[in-house]
Amino acid sequence: MKKIRKAVFPVAGLGTRFLPATKAIPKEMLTLVDKPLIQYGVEEAMASGVEEIIFVNSQGKTAIEDHFDISTELEAELERRGKKELLEQVKAVGRMAHVATVRQKQALGLGHAVLQARNLVGDEPFAVLLPDDIIAAEKPCLSQMIEVYEQYGASVVAVMEVEGDAISRYGAIAVDSSEGRVYKIKDMVEKPPANEAPSNLAIIGRYILMPEIFDLIEKTGRGAGGEIQITDAMRALLKRQAFYGYIFEGKRYDAGDKLGFLIATVEFGLKHQELGSAFKEYLRSL
């Protein structure tokens, strides 16, 4: 069984839900306490054994790549000033991962974004992480999923239970059978009306996909929202091979939504080693 060595990060979006903040700054570079959103996802991937990060990017968002590059001038200045702790932090980010980038020249959806990484991924299974989805967990979510992949030898998506009408904002799975937190999928639907959803199990932004997905994306027409949906391609794949959903251990924050971003900021701030106590006292004073 091939190891999961590569992780694809679709980061080409315009971040319209955060305008005007994202007019000049990539949404993925918005700061959650003291790190940009994208760094949380990259750290999760690296902690899960991933060796190469692939950004599917777009024009004007080079700040994402720059963040993970070595900054010689900044490092030299921090060293000159004797800022040893900050220097080590900056060095760690610049040397965190081997990064490759490919452009998505048209905004045609998540499926289309993943397809752009085909030449860099090659003929091997790979991970996809959506940086909007921040997952706090003792064991990284992707690491949990890789264990499922290694056990079943098939594609895996992270799922969580949602309440009521919320399912209409996600891809939903129909379940064939289950074993603990692992569900064998028999069908999936992108953003179904709540009264037509096959279950309350929603697909969130973590995927392990077999390389056959690329051929199927190429054959996928535009679906919900007029975009090439990854869910439609995954649905075609599960007709050919086994596909599993996994209810991960941990808490997911939707940092692509203003309210979700604020909630994540508060909760991560309270857990922060240096800031947590003072921040808690401040909140109590309100």
The pLDDT tens digits for 79-129 are: 888 888 888 888 888 787 889 999 998 888 899 999 999 999 999 999 999
Can you give the pLDDT of all 286 residues of the chain as single tens digits? 789 999 999 999 888 899 898 988 999 999 999 999 999 999 999 999 999 999 999 888 889 988 888 888 888 888 888 888 888 888 888 787 889 999 998 888 899 999 999 999 999 999 999 999 999 999 999 999 999 999 999 999 999 999 888 999 888 999 888 788 999 999 998 888 888 889 999 999 999 999 999 999 988 866 666 678 888 899 999 999 999 999 999 999 999 999 999 999 999 999 999 999 999 999 999 9
C-alpha–C-alpha distance, residues 168 and 157, integer Å: 18
Look up the pTM and report it.
Answer: 0.91
Residue pointed to by tokens 């997952």? 135
Provide the token pair at 77. 């200045």
Cβ neighbour number for residue 47 with a 10 Å cutoff: 12
Calpha distance 269→141 (Å, rounded):
21
List, in order, residues 6 or more apart from 214 with CB less than 8 Å away: 114, 115, 118, 121
The residues pairing with 53 across neighbouring beta strands, listed in sequence order, are 7, 99
Residue 271 is predicted with a pLDDT of 95
Return d(Cα 267, Cα 88) in angstroms, integer: 26
pLDDT score for 71: 84
| Residue 211 tokens, joined | 């390389």
Q: Where in the chain are the domains?
A: 6-285
Give pLDDT, residue 143.
Answer: 97
At 226 the pLDDT is 67
**What is the predicted pLDDT for the residue at 87?**
84
Q: What is the pLDDT of residue 225?
A: 64
CATH superfamily ID and name for 6-285: Spore Coat Polysaccharide Biosynthesis Protein SpsA; Chain A (3.90.550.10)
- In this prediction, residue 129 carries a pLDDT of 98
